[in-house]
Chain A
Amino acid sequence: MLKFLGSRAIASAISLVGLILLVFFLSRLTGDPTGLYLPLDASEESRNQFREIHGLNDPLLIQFFNYLGDLVRLDFGESIRRSEPAIDVVLRGFGWTLQLAVVTMSLVVVFSIILGSLAAFHVGGVFDRIATFFSLIGASAPDFWIAIVAIVIFSVNLGWVPTSGTGTVWHWILPVSVLFIRPFGLILQIVRGSMITALSSAYVKTARAKGIKNKAIIFVHALRNALLPVITVIGDQAAALLNGAVVVETIFGFPGVGKLMIDSILQRDFTVVMAAIMLTATAIFVMNLVIDILYSILDPRIRY
């Protein structure tokens, strides 16, 4: 187990270093932030001073090593846009995104597993057809479109929920519902597929022959074995949410890490971009580890 953790950590560290290298140099290719932050008629002197303050005057390689040096001391640099440590800005956004992701994924997992299992129980039945149809639509719909249609219907016309922002519980309803739809559709499909396989296996027939109730067969015998592929997809979807649901966060004015990322990229706030990428990459790494451990709990044959 420890050896497995170690090799995984090393592989991820290599990827992270490669990522830092790429992002650092590629993001500088998008241009000089000076033009964005100073007025058009700013003198060359003040431009130079601005670059000097933010360390943009040094050769790129020197900048990179300075950055790495600071990074070792866990100093992620200063945000140009906000004039505060980049890591603070990112952590604030990440907190919001994390809450959003946890709430959404919990709902997705509960609903998709229950409904998917029930759909698989009568393949081709009415419930199965309805569930399959709606989950397919859910998996196919563009989230930005659902988001704006939902705003028109529920916020503008019916006035039930606010259009954007945060604050009360009501503000969470639309973003969570919109984010819920696609992973729900995808995971329901996977649960259904893998439950169909599990339900036609020999041990389920045995359980049925012993006279065990349907509910117990579905949720105790079959589900546990059907969950392995499901967990992989749940992991992928959760990773996508942790990366920041850029579109949904932008539309609903949700101050998460996705919106922060797109704003920082467009504003050339390099330190924030780097910090955000590193934080989300680390979070996703930890989550993947948890998923691997879950595998071995669910299926004792898997040993690391």
Chain B
Amino acid sequence: MTNTQDQDTTLPDVTEAPNPVIRTMRMLWNDKFAFVSVVFLLIVLLCAIVGPFLLEDAATKQNLRGRNAPPFDFSTAWPYWLGGDALGRPLLARIIVAAQNTIFVAAGAVFFSLLIGTTLGLIAGYTSRIISQIIMRLADIIMSFPSLLLAVIVLFMLDSSVFNLVIVLAITRIPVYLRTARAETMEVRERMFVQAAKVMGASNGRIIFRHILPVVFPTLITIATLDFAFVMLAESALSFLGIGIQPPEITWGLMVSQGRPYLTTAWWLSFWPGLAIILTTLSLNLVSNWLRTALDPAQRWRLEIVRKKNG
């Protein structure tokens, strides 16, 4: 009842949309799982950025007395709280340092595949049939090209480095964005505002990048979050098989693989890095789920309604 009265006097207040940043934050706070995930991902990101600078020495220093030291021995220095590896290097410090390569490879691969895939997909969706066909066949070939072979080829041809692994993974993920961008573009190009832009004489480039891309982009970002998790798993699998990152560089996948010979005697060597992978990918999946809802105007109420229910 008070609302109707207020409406006359404080009209601007009622119609004013809340600041988008605050609104997003509030939606995030409402979904506790997503909130915890974002916090966890920020911690991982922090480890990835500053970890190697602070802990590089601690993570590579061998300590024969700490070989396969068991976890939860709190009388030791804190890097040993999760135990030590086969050379007595502290596992916790190594996991923090390895976060950098793990995150960098996944982020780089997702970034490049998103960039290239989206560009090709927009072109394939908007331009002539022939170009579209060529691009799609190319995508088919990439899809069926075994990523293992690609990894081995790059490993032998170029060299094993973090950046080359990024290239391998980026190539294998291009079709995902390409197909999505193309399908969405083909749907969006028939809509009225695109027709209107065309009638007003906008160039193809302008229509694609100013009119179509903003509509397609939220979907692609959601997929990219999910794909980040997938690429992380793929990188770990490659490193695990021995055709990804090579020592002395470390990633979580490589750490799991290095702990494998000691499985029966020191399970923690493989267990902790694996857990780090699971927690990170799980967080990414949860954030992706939340993003899908938050970016979709028709579904967004599900996140906002909680606030009202809780008061």
Binary interface profile of B, 260-289, with partner A (CB < 8 Å = 1, else 0)?
100110010011001001100110111001
Q: How far is the CB of A238 from chain B (nearest CB, A)?
A: 14
Chain A residues within 8 Å of B137, by CB = 11, 14-15, 18
Q: How far is the CB of A236 from chain B (nearest CB, A)?
A: 10
Q: Are A19 and B141 also in contact (CB < 8 A) when A137-B282, A140-B229, A145-B277 are?
A: yes
Cβ of A136 under 8 Å from chain B: yes
- Interface pair A22/B141, CB less than 8 Å apart: yes
Q: How far is the CB of B16 from chain A (nearest CB, A)?
A: 31
- Interface pair B264/A152, CB less than 8 Å apart: yes
Cβ of A114 under 8 Å from chain B: no
Q: How far is the CB of B132 from chain A (nearest CB, A)?
A: 12
- Interface pair A18/B146, CB less than 8 Å apart: no
- Interface pair B286/A136, CB less than 8 Å apart: yes
Q: CA A23 – CA B144 in complex, angstroms?
A: 11
- Interface pair B153/A29, CB less than 8 Å apart: yes
Identify which of B92-100, B212-220, B233-241 touches chain A: B233-241
Q: Are A144 and B256 also in contact (CB < 8 A) when A156-B263, A284-B144 are?
A: yes
Within 8 A of B (CB), among A245-304: 246-247, 250, 261-262, 265-266, 273, 277, 280-281, 284
- Interface pair B282/A266, CB less than 8 Å apart: no
Chain A residues within 8 Å of B281, by CB = 140-142
Q: Are A142 and B233 also in contact (CB < 8 A) when A23-B145, A148-B260, A149-B274 are?
A: yes
Q: How far is the CB of A170 from chain B (nearest CB, A)?
A: 20
Q: Which of B149, B253, B267 has the most chain A CB atoms inside 10 A of its CB?
A: B149
- Interface pair B256/A277, CB less than 8 Å apart: no
- Interface pair B149/A27, CB less than 8 Å apart: yes
Q: CA A11 – CA B135 in complex, angstroms?
A: 12
Binary interface profile of B, 227-260, with partner A (CB < 8 Å = 1, else 0)?
0010001001100110000000000010011001
Cβ of A112 under 8 Å from chain B: no
Q: How far is the CB of A260 from chain B (nearest CB, A)?
A: 11
Q: How far is the CB of B244 from chain A (nearest CB, A)?
A: 12
Which chain B residue shows the least CB distance to A281? Answer: B144
- Interface pair A142/B267, CB less than 8 Å apart: no
Chain B residues within 8 Å of A26, by CB = 149-150, 153
Binary interface profile of B, 148-163, with partner A (CB < 8 Å = 1, else 0)?
1110110011000000
Number of residues on chain B facing chain A (CB within 8 A):
38
Q: Are A139 and B145 also in contact (CB < 8 A) when A29-B157, A148-B256, A247-B241 are?
A: no
- Interface pair A137/B278, CB less than 8 Å apart: yes
- Interface pair B278/A141, CB less than 8 Å apart: yes
Chain B residues within 8 Å of A139, by CB = 285
Q: How far is the CB of A74 from chain B (nearest CB, A)?
A: 20
Cβ of A241 under 8 Å from chain B: no
Q: Are A262 and B270 also in contact (CB < 8 A) when A136-B285, A148-B256 are?
A: no
Chain B residues within 8 Å of A29, by CB = 153, 156-157
Q: CA A142 – CA B233 in complex, angstroms?
A: 6
Chain A residues within 8 Å of B284, by CB = 140
Cβ of A31 under 8 Å from chain B: yes
Binary interface profile of A, 118-160, with partner B (CB < 8 Å = 1, else 0)?
0000000000000000001101111111001101100010000
Cβ of A30 under 8 Å from chain B: yes
Cβ of A243 under 8 Å from chain B: yes
Chain A residues within 8 Å of B145, by CB = 19, 22-23
Q: How far is the CB of B268 from chain A (nearest CB, A)?
A: 11
Chain B residues within 8 Å of A23, by CB = 145, 149
- Interface pair A277/B253, CB less than 8 Å apart: no
Cβ of B140 under 8 Å from chain A: yes
- Interface pair A250/B241, CB less than 8 Å apart: yes
The 8 Å CB contact of A145, one of B141, B157, B270, is: B270
- Interface pair A142/B277, CB less than 8 Å apart: yes
- Interface pair A148/B156, CB less than 8 Å apart: no
- Interface pair A30/B241, CB less than 8 Å apart: no
Chain A residues within 8 Å of B289, by CB = 136
Q: How far is the CB of A32 from chain B (nearest CB, A)?
A: 11
- Interface pair B256/A145, CB less than 8 Å apart: yes
The 8 Å CB contact of A247, one of B156, B240, B270, B286, is: B240
Chain A residues within 8 Å of B149, by CB = 23, 26-27, 261, 265, 273, 277
Interfacial residues, chain B to chain A (CB-CB below 8 A)? 137-138, 140-141, 144-146, 148-150, 152-153, 156-157, 229, 233, 236-237, 240-241, 253, 256-257, 260, 263-264, 267, 270-271, 274, 277-278, 281-282, 284-286, 289
Interfacial residues, chain A to chain B (CB-CB below 8 A)? 11-12, 14-16, 18-19, 22-23, 26-27, 29-31, 136-137, 139-145, 148-149, 151-152, 156, 243, 246-247, 250, 261-262, 265-266, 273, 277, 280-281, 284
8 contacts between A and B (CB under 8 A): A140-B284, A141-B278, A142-B278, A143-B233, A144-B257, A149-B267, A149-B270, A247-B240
| The 9 A-B residue pairs with the shortest CB-CB distance in the complex, in nearest-first order | A145-B274, A140-B281, A15-B140, A140-B282, A30-B156, A18-B141, A281-B144, A144-B240, A142-B233
